[in-house]
Structure formats: structure tokens, C-alpha cells
Amino acid sequence: MKTADDFLEGQILLIDKPLTWSSFQAVNKLKYLLKRKFDLPKKFKIGHAGTLDPLASGLLIICTGKFTKKITEIQSQTKEYTGTILVGATTPSYDLETEIDATFPIEHISDALILKTTEQFLGEIDQKPPVFSAIKKDGKRLYEHAREGSEVEIATRKTTIYEFEITRIALPEIDFRVQCSKGTYIRSLAYDFGIALQSGAHLTALRRTKIGDFDVKKAVSPNDFEQQINATTL
């Protein structure tokens, strides 16, 4: 049974973030539950170790109290994702947040070509973040520039893909599993993968399954966490 002191001293909470929730919403939900249940001080510290987009589900690590100092260390660990890429069409956001803006042929794409193309992305690669992202440019988030229709120059970044496994091919859908370094945009990987296939592509599903040794199989949903907290007798 956890106490107020336990959460103040520091806890690492594994949350399975639901689809459409922002990471900020998940943290706020837990903060509200914990403060209400344990009468924690206003300055109670809580934060997450790596943002997940609203259109992604899966592992969100939330640190409380003194363990918020561990966030940078946790964020730097290898991450694993599973998801689905749809080939033959692109969107400005590289995922389902925006509508399709262009279509491309896929008749030339074979299973062998797909498997061979993954090899181009293994190791250290240069990747350009999506224009619909939270990175700041000239004092504003990139997605703010994008929604205004402003053209902005985005610099490429170095990132590392440790594993890129194709788990299902049912064109136009391709399922995958990726292990990658901090700062990798799976949306950008999907977009670049489409170009490498001499077509176009965007991400239609994404789930974070691991961060370092932390596994989503041991995570609970925010609603399950609420039930566990409410069932705790002080």
C-alpha cells in the first residue's frame, strides 16, 4: 500500500496512454487523483519521461516527487514502437491528424522491395522532424507555423534505428516494429519510407511498447490507476 510519503519521495508509474489522450492530459489526471487521495501539497512534482502524440497509444512513464530528477535519464533510453504505415498517400502531418494531400502508385511495391528498403534505415540516419510537431522555431511551435500556413526551414537531426522489422504486409498497409534512439519521429520514418519505396506513405497507427527495460505489458490505463488509487485504504 502506497502512502503520501511514497509519492513525495518518488515513484515511477507505468501508464498505458489511451488513444486521443495527450501526454499532458494523462499527467494531469494522475496529478489530480494523487493530490485528492493523499492531500499532497500544491507544489507536488509530477512529469512524464517522453511525449506520446494524441494519435499514439502505449507506454507513458510518469515520475513523481524526487524521481522527477530521473526523467532525463529515462528519456535517453532506447524506445520500441509498433504501428502501421499506409503506402500510396501522404498527409502534411505524416499521420492521420491531417487529410491526404497527394496519392502515389503502389503497383511496383513487392514484399521483397519492402523488406530490402528497411535496410536503408538501419543505423544512424538523418531525419527531418514533421512540420506538425512541438519543436520550437523562431519562438513558436512548428505546428503553430504549419497551421498558419507559414513556410519554415526545418533542419535534419541525427537519430539511430537499431531494429526495423516488418511484421505484416497487406498492401496498402505495412505493420512494423522499430527500436530507436531518443528523438526519433516514427511519423518521419513512415514518410521517408514511402519516398524510399518510390511512392508516398503516412502513419495510421502507433503504439509505444518499451522504454529501456520498462514494458507496456506492466502498464495500466489511467482509469485502472484511478480504481487502484480509490481502492487504497489510508
Query: Which amino acids are annotated catalytic?
Result: 53
The candidate with the shortest Cα–Cα distance to 162, out of 210, 194, 202, 198, is: 210
Look up residue 120 and give its amino acid.
Q
φ, ψ of residue 214 to 5 degrees: the values are -80, 130
The candidate with the shortest Cα–Cα distance to 212, out of 49, 5, 103, is: 49
DSSP reduced 3-state for 68: helix
The candidate with the shortest Cα–Cα distance to 176, out of 222, 127, 118, is: 118
Locate the DSSP E strands across the chain: 12-17, 46-48, 57-64, 79-87, 89-90, 102-103, 123-127, 136-137, 140-141, 157-170, 173-180, 201-211, 214-215
